[in-house]
Chains A and B, each alone.
Chain A
């Protein structure tokens, strides 16, 4: 059974509040119209008449003037509430009888997108009331009017029997807990975080969502707070992946005092939908890759794990480390056609550059760190960034030493450095 409240003079919030006080299943149908399920209220309140009286009392206490209709069919309840004043109870199976006296134009609000001449056609046919419409032969009517015809006939007969478009309650993806005793150890803390996280991930899963950001707030003794936020390049639905990353993060950034409260908040996003290609090469599974990258970062240190990106400058060894992701790079491979045939050497850096003892003769290097120079090329003068606070300038030499290695040395600010080796 469904109840419909029609009150064009009340605010929508008032209507929704009244409906929500009786049922969690509420449809915000239109301005001034709400439908809600009253199934189950029989045990709490009693007969449909008693339920209607209770709703009417609730409306009166809120200072509302509204029409109320109760029916087994939600659209019948809407039509009755819209066009019949006061309280209307329509017993199951009597919908067509109760709606029969209504003129056909009351269906106008239900026929959005249908042929605008539909109602005029009915008038020309001599069909003036819903009872006359309901009596028409179904197959012939549908043949002439199609889907709109089906809907009209069902409305007139009170047989739509649709489900409510229930409003999704604004879910708060945040959980917190206060600890009975201050906690200093990571392992028991992770146990608490895991329970909150599982609860949140279940709430996300119920709404078909995933998360791309988790914020962990730890309330510390002396009322300070330790807050960490982790961003994920792709939406995650596995609580174990998040928990492990939180563990690595807390190990790298431990709180400075004992913990008395834990708060976990997730940012809900639509989950990732991906169609894999049959002939594409394999790529690391994103969830597993995130975990691996977190482990690698914990092992090697931040900024030592990622994908290098060259910077548009002549400054030597200029690059930035970007986060590595297996997403969104597959399509690039086909267009990447640089052929390496002409490149016949690679360079290996010493980071940082090693200080070198270079002996020169007639401004040419003759030995590096006491090793005689066999061949050399240079100097190659380079400079840049003179318009910034960090200008650089140097003379480079390519030098083959007697040990068989070919190195790059440079002189900057009257000091010599061994930058790396050609290999």
Chain B
């Protein structure tokens, strides 16, 4: 989890049900228990407070911006939060966003975000189904599912591994 640097953009991506959201919840849990304030810009309104709470996220120190499926608004919201400062972790969740909208994101947004958090203690984590941030990301993690964990008929979890595209380090979950 320490592989996500402060003052930089990190990117977590992977296919459906690969475990990337579980990985993010762990990151939010760790940050919020350490006293950091966290923000989730949820472009599709998919965030589940219950599973986040069960993962250990302190919901009282979490700001949730529930999107209305408009990518542009999600980027504006992230921009406002990053420029207001004071948050330890900001998650921009672009999972399941339409590919057509994602392809329209101007590259200048990422440069703007990178400049906004440079030399601050804020971690910006961008999640999606595919890599989006390109050269502005200092860390790129691809999460790959190994298998679903079943105990009899009960679904227990997802076994996954995260491979860094830039540092070639591995995280296992």
Contact = CB atoms under 8 A, between A and B. Distances in A.
B84 A333 contact: no
Given A300-B65, A305-B65, A292 B25 contact: no
Q: How large is the interface on B (under 10, 10 to 19, 20 to 34, 35 or more residues)?
A: 35 or more
A398 B21 CA distance: 18
A338 B56 CA distance: 5
Given A307-B59, A329-B60, A329-B61, 9 more contacts: A282-B86, A292-B84, A307-B62, A308-B49, A332-B58, A336-B56, A375-B148, A377-B154, A404-B145
Contacts of A347: 21, 48, 50-51
Interface of B is mostly: mixed
Contacts of B106: none
Interface in A235-253: none
22 contacts: A280-B35, A281-B34, A282-B121, A292-B81, A299-B73, A306-B64, A307-B61, A307-B62, A329-B58, A334-B35, A336-B32, A338-B33, A340-B26, A344-B156, A344-B158, A346-B24, A347-B51, A348-B96, A349-B46, A406-B17, A421-B16, A423-B16
A345 B26 CA distance: 10
Contact of A319 (B46, B50, B149): B50
Given A333-B33, A340-B26, A346-B52, A326 B86 contact: yes
A188 to B, nearest CB: 27
A304 B59 contact: no
Contacts of A333: 32-35, 58, 61
Q: Which 3 A-B pairs have the closest CB atoms?
A: A344-B157, A284-B86, A340-B56
A283 interface: yes
Interface in B25-40: 25-26, 29, 32-37
A337 interface: yes
A232 interface: no
Given A304-B68, A305-B66, A282 B88 contact: yes
A421 B77 CA distance: 25
A292 B18 CA distance: 34
Contacts of A284: 37, 84-87
A308 B47 CA distance: 10
Nearest to A326: B37
A289 interface: yes
Nearest to B158: A345
Contacts of B145: 404
B25 A340 contact: yes
A285 B20 CA distance: 31
